[in-house]
Amino acid sequence: MKRLERMVLVQFFVCDAEELSFSGHTALLGPNGTGKTALLDAIQIVMLGADSRRIKFNAKKSGTSDRRDIRDYCLGYFKPRDDSDGTGSGTQIARRKRDTSLTYISLVFRDDETGEALSAGVCLSASAHESKHRINGLYVARGVDLRLADHVESQGDEMWPLSWKEFEARLRRLTSSKGTTPVIEDRSEQFVGELLHVLQPRGVSINPVEYQKAFKKSLLLNQIDNVSDFVRDFVIDEEPIDRTRAMQQIHEFRRLQTLIEDLQERIDRLSGLQRQFQFVEREHRKVSSLEGLVAVYQVEEAADRASTLEQQLAEAEATMRQTQDRLTALEPALLAADKDVERVTQVLMQDPAAQDLQDKQSLLEERERSQGERVIALQRQVSQIQAALHACSGFVADPVRASALAADKQLTLATARVPQDGFSALGEAARQALRTVSSLSEPIRTEWLRAQQEHEHAKQEYQALSGSAENQRAGGVALPGGPGQAVEVLRHAGIQARPVCDLVDIIDPEWQRAIETYLARNRFALLVPAGKEDDAVRIIRRPGQRIAGVKIVQPQHLKERIGRRPEVWSVAALVTGTNDQAVAYLHGILGRIRRVSTEQELREHSQALTVDGLLSKSGSTETLELLPADKLVVGRRGTRPDEAALRRQLDAAGSKVSQLRTREKALEAARDRIVQLGESDEAQSAAQRLASEAETGRQAVASQKRLVAGISTAHVEALQTELATQVARREELRGEQRNADASLGASKAHIAATEAALTASWEDLERAQAAEAAKRKDADFDAQLVDELRSRIDVDSTGREREYPTRLDLCETQLGEARVAATRATNRALPEFGTFVDRYTYAVIEERSDWRKAMTWMELTKQQIIETKLHEYQPQADMARQVAEQAFRKDVVFKLREGMTRMKHNIDTLNRILDKCPPFSHNETYKFIFPLAEEHHKLHDYIMWTGNDDASGALFGDDSDLSKQIVAMLNPQPVEGRKPGKNPLEDFRLMFNFDLQIRENGVPFSTLSKRMQSSSNGEHLTPFYVVAAAALTHAYRMDQDDGREGAALMLLDEAFAAMDDQNAVATAKFIDGLGLQMIMGAPSADSAKLSSFTDTIYELVREGEVMEFHREELTALGHALLRSDMPSEHPELVQARLERGPDAPVGA
């Protein structure tokens, strides 16, 4: 065996020049910070070739590493044990012993059998002004026993290191004297290989990678958290896999497959668009068919109307001929009647009594005519007064209403008593009534103004409800007053407006109430088509029709915000959507408000919002009253509205508008009647004057009647009777003549009007026929659909035929609805088509706005993709898949199979070592196990059994879970900005769950991983030491038949920590039995435990940069004494104790 005998340190850590001697197993003891680990690191630096990539210094139980590196060791960085940074944190301030260094670390091994020495080491340089150390040289010298004096020059008590050139020359002289040549390298890998070559047993080759890993892992026994990871990384080597060629072929196959999938996706998208455009086509066909049906109805109605007018014209011409015949017959009868009247009139004119009577009767007639005019004037005023009273009485309350009714009743009574009381009483009643009307003027005016306001408000409510309903039918949410009214008014102006709440989403539902509460009415800001913003603003600000509470989004103001992503911490980052203008508008409202949760954050940030509605802004923090859930609108689009409920709401609002309009008109009429009566005083004077004049006229008529009655008219009456008879006869004939003339004129006018209407009907018929013919030529016209539509319109639900006007009204109604549906379908389909052509960069222009051209283009493009590109790429993809699978099997599967076979062989070798170990406490023995991970069964089976070279099957061509798993592992993707971790195709060991089976008397009863979950710190450590020792034994090739000839060094930091004495001794005996030499670091408190199996002990003491070493050697007799009271070493002690009984004193 080759044992480590000596270590020489020059300018390493706080050591300027030290030489440490080792005999067998060595323990370095001392409190924390004395330098135990530094000495172990010195050995590690040489054994790993000063390769910083492979060395892990000062491993802690936390699993982290000290930031110290080789340069720090060279410059002598240390932390005084009683010094700190002065901050009260307890953090020590590192100090530096030297600014430059020339460091030597030399290890001397000696063969137990031959006594031959072997020296190996490293020379390093470092400077405080440089960030890295430099390797001057790494050396291996056979037969040379290097001492401290070989590394330094001295004068008196002073020593300084030899320069590298001088040391190299001295080393060559020393080896030359021994008949050997030194191996000097400046590369770590070559040095480690040469060192292992001279340390390894004869005829055996040590694997440097396996050795370095096992050597380094033995220093990490105090920080193991996962059994499987430890065993995998410690015991099993990785198998490097070159997956480049396989991935290139898979990428080519995936590229072609992606192209095919992309083409198939295009075909699917085109098919979906075609279905959408077929719906558009159906809607336009329905529009065209309804337009055609309107034309058909207009043709039939015009023909029916023309037929009716022709019949009416014939009847009118017959009536006119009859009237003309009657007029011809009346002419001679009128001449005879005129002569008879003239004759009787001459007789009366020659009679004096008759002449006197005629004069007085003429005067009576004149007075009665004047009296009639005065009475009519008075009655007209009375009627106006009563009309005003009637109009006002329904709009005023008692006692004013009672006064109006009493005045009306008094007027009626006075009018009825005029024959008895005369007109004076009526005049007084009219004057009193006018006073009452005057008192009603102001209340009626006030009610009229209020009715105007209520009517206007009801109209606005109806418009708002109509706009909200229209927005819901378009897939949006219900809108409040102003925005809803604006949507309706703008729609009638030909401007389609959408609220921004229908165009955005809030991606985190927990924040929705707080965000919507803050946005308030900004949620209902309206977005209008580009270029219509000025028109929209002009409409909502019209004088007398101004709509309050409405916001029109101005895209011109949003140019800088569109497309800009808000900060991830902002509230605005939660608002997203497909409409860039709507999103940018709300982002602008939210600004840089930050999402926070604590009171401290509300204080620190001038603009902040919490999820429960606390807002910091404008220098204060306020509590927002969060909207209830049923008032949230953002992202609630797409719900189909209850059409019947909307119609009921609209009908109720319309009825309210109608009622209030009727009330307003009635009050306006009442106000006008009061105004017509004029000023109250003037109206009362006029009524009094008219009544007085009527009363005077009544008396004059009565007086004139008495004079006429006093004349004797016996013979005159006979003549007058005859004259009246002749006049009546003549008037009757004249009346017949006038009626006949009127009838003739009416007939002529009727005939002219009928002829004009008939001409218009013929013209309407021609136009309707031309329109029908043109519509039948329309590409969207469907005669069969026309028949179906007509069958539903011609008759009502009772089976009766409807009149043409009714049919046309129904048809026009359905046509309007169909046009809206067609427009809506087109407006939905064309943007989807635009998105498609933009996504795939098709250069189309006219098709973007013409759905018919778009349908034709889609059909041609789909056919072209199917017939050309798919047929071109599919064979290439099949060939690429076959090549990819072949490359995967040759380059990946074969290597993985080899690695797993080698892994099983290595584990079997280690298990053979463990089988030779004596039982530990409780008669425990250990065995490596490696069950296959459940999720990798299929992959493992494929690699081991179906992954052979001639295996068949489209591994990368199907969509199986195994295919997806393999492709994902061959091409791992980063997650959330992190590099992807390894997978079983990169490290086949990940397919297995490694563990150590614990056996008692040869029977398995647990595993190390289970024990770690339930046992104390010390109980589960023993197997790890066993694993590490077995792995090192295998790495040093000490498990070979002649393995005892090599060197086997094992470094243990915090050796056997938390392990009881019994387990520690048993484990140390096992390690010793394997032939390993332990160099251990441990606290002084573990001195007794380690002394029972340690050959050399160094007690370390350090004060600042001064370090002292106190060496002791233990003999076999000392070991026996220290183990004399261990029950595991002396079972007879247990038996003796049992024989003495439980009550015997312990020391008996």
| 622 plus 539 within the same structural domain | yes
| DSSP SS3 for 558 | helix
| 19 plus 98 within the same structural domain | yes
- What the block records as the tokens of 882 is 């076959």
What letter does residue 869 receive in the DSSP assignment? I
pLDDT tier for residue 86 given thresholds of 50, 70 and 90: very low
- What the block records as the tokens of 31 is 């409190």
Burial (CB < 10 A; 0-12, 13-18, 19+), residue 516, is buried
Q: Which residue has the higher pLDDT, 593 or 790?
A: 593
Residue 496 · residue 529 · CB < 8 Å:
yes
Number of domains present in the structure of the chain: 3
- What the block records as the tokens of 1130 is 């002396």
pLDDT (mean) for 250-271: 78
Cβ atoms within 10 Å of 846's Cβ, excluding its own: 9
pLDDT tier for residue 981 given thresholds of 50, 70 and 90: low
* Spatial separation of the C-alpha atoms in residues 98 and 12, rounded to whole Å: 10
Task: Look up tokens 């954050």; give the residue.
Answer: 601
Q: Which residue has the higher pLDDT, 576 or 949?
A: 576
| 390 plus 483 within the same structural domain | no
| 69 plus 150 within the same structural domain | yes
Exposure letters 476-514 (e unless 16+ CB within 10 A, then b): bbebbbbbbbbbbbbbeeebbbbbbbbbbbbeeeebbbb
pLDDT of residue 965: 74
pLDDT exceeds 50 at position 88: no
What share of the chain has pLDDT > 70, as a percent?
89
pLDDT exceeds 80 at position 962: no
pLDDT exceeds 90 at position 513: yes
Q: Which of 639, 668, 699 is the last residue of a domain?
A: 639
- What the block records as the tokens of 804 is 């043409």
Which distant-in-sequence residues (6+ apart) come within 8 Å of 793 by Cβ? 293, 802, 807, 810, 811, 814
* Domain CATH for 68: 3.40.1140.10
pLDDT exceeds 60 at position 1042: no
Looking only at the bridges linking them, the beta strands covering 608-609 and 594-595 are parallel
Poorest-confidence range of 228-242, 440-454, 578-592, 1108-1122? 228-242
CA distances from 43 to 541, 651, 1006 (A): 90, 96, 37
- Residue 191 sits at the vertex; the CA angle it makes with 188 and 192, to the nearest 5 degrees, is 85
Residue 787 lies in a domain: no
Residue 841 lies in a domain: no
| 490 plus 582 within the same structural domain | yes
Q: Which among 456, 615, 608, 589 has a CA at the least distance from the CA of 524?
A: 589
pLDDT 10s digits, 794-840: 888 888 988 888 888 998 899 889 989 999 999 999 999 999 988 88
CA distances from 564 to 222, 339, 554, 558 (A): 52, 108, 17, 10
What share of the chain has pLDDT > 90, as a percent?
28
Please give the span between the terminal C-alpha atoms of the chain, in angstroms, as a whole number. 45
How high is the mean pLDDT of the chain?
A: 84
Instruction: Tell me the β-bridge partners of 1047.
Output: 2
Instruction: Tell me the β-bridge partners of 117.
Output: 110
* Spatial separation of the C-alpha atoms in residues 120 and 134, rounded to whole Å: 18
pLDDT of residue 89: 43
pLDDT (mean) for 841-849: 89
pLDDT exceeds 60 at position 957: no
Q: Which helix (H) or strand (E) holds 1114?
A: none
- What the block records as the tokens of 32 is 């924390």
Residue 692 lies in a domain: yes
Task: Look up tokens 């017949």; give the residue.
Answer: 736
pLDDT 10s digits, 586-601: 999 999 999 999 999 9
pLDDT exceeds 90 at position 98: yes
| 635 plus 683 within the same structural domain | no
pLDDT of residue 638: 53
* Spatial separation of the C-alpha atoms in residues 849 and 827, rounded to whole Å: 10
| 488 plus 634 within the same structural domain | yes
pLDDT tier for residue 951 given thresholds of 50, 70 and 90: very low
Which distant-in-sequence residues (6+ apart) come within 8 Å of 848 by Cβ? 830, 833, 834, 837, 854
pLDDT 10s digits, 325-351: 888 888 888 898 889 888 888 877 777
Q: Which of 175, 206, 237 is the last residue of a domain?
A: 206
Q: Give the CA count within 13 Å in the CB-facing half-sphere of 535.
A: 15
Exposure letters 265-292 (e unless 16+ CB within 10 A, then b): ebbebbeebbebbebbbbbbbbbbbbbb
Alpha helical stretches, state H, 100-243: 164-177, 188-199, 208-217, 227-235
Residue 635 lies in a domain: yes
pLDDT 10s digits, 138-194: 999 999 999 999 999 988 888 999 999 999 999 999 999 999 999 999 999 999 999
pLDDT of residue 67: 65
Helix axis angle, 208-217 relative to 227-235, nearest 10°? 140
pLDDT 10s digits, 285-323: 999 999 898 889 889 888 998 999 999 899 989 989 888
| 510 plus 562 within the same structural domain | yes
Looking at residue 481, its amino acid is G
pLDDT exceeds 70 at position 1019: no
pLDDT of residue 64: 46
Residue 973 lies in a domain: no
| DSSP SS3 for 159 | strand
pLDDT exceeds 50 at position 1104: yes
Residue 483 lies in a domain: yes
- The torsion angle over the Cα atoms of residues 316, 318, 319 and 323, rounded to 10 degrees, is 130
Residue 154 lies in a domain: yes
| 435 plus 487 within the same structural domain | no
pLDDT tier for residue 377 given thresholds of 50, 70 and 90: confident
Enclosing domain of residue 373: 352-442+679-713
pLDDT (mean) for 885-903: 80
pLDDT exceeds 50 at position 950: no
| 605 plus 689 within the same structural domain | no
| 564 plus 690 within the same structural domain | no
pLDDT 10s digits, 985-1017: 778 888 888 888 888 888 898 888 887 776 555
Residue 1016 phi, psi dihedral angles, 5° rounding = -75, 170
pLDDT of residue 62: 44
- What the block records as the tokens of 348 is 């009366």
Residue 820 lies in a domain: no
Q: Give the CA count within 13 Å in the CB-facing half-sphere of 716.
A: 15
Q: Which residue has the higher pLDDT, 417 or 106?
A: 106
pLDDT 10s digits, 207-255: 888 888 888 777 777 677 677 777 776 666 666 666 666 667 667 666 7
| 421 plus 482 within the same structural domain | no
Q: Which residue has the higher pLDDT, 469 or 1019?
A: 469
Q: Which of 656, 689, 713 is the last residue of a domain?
A: 713
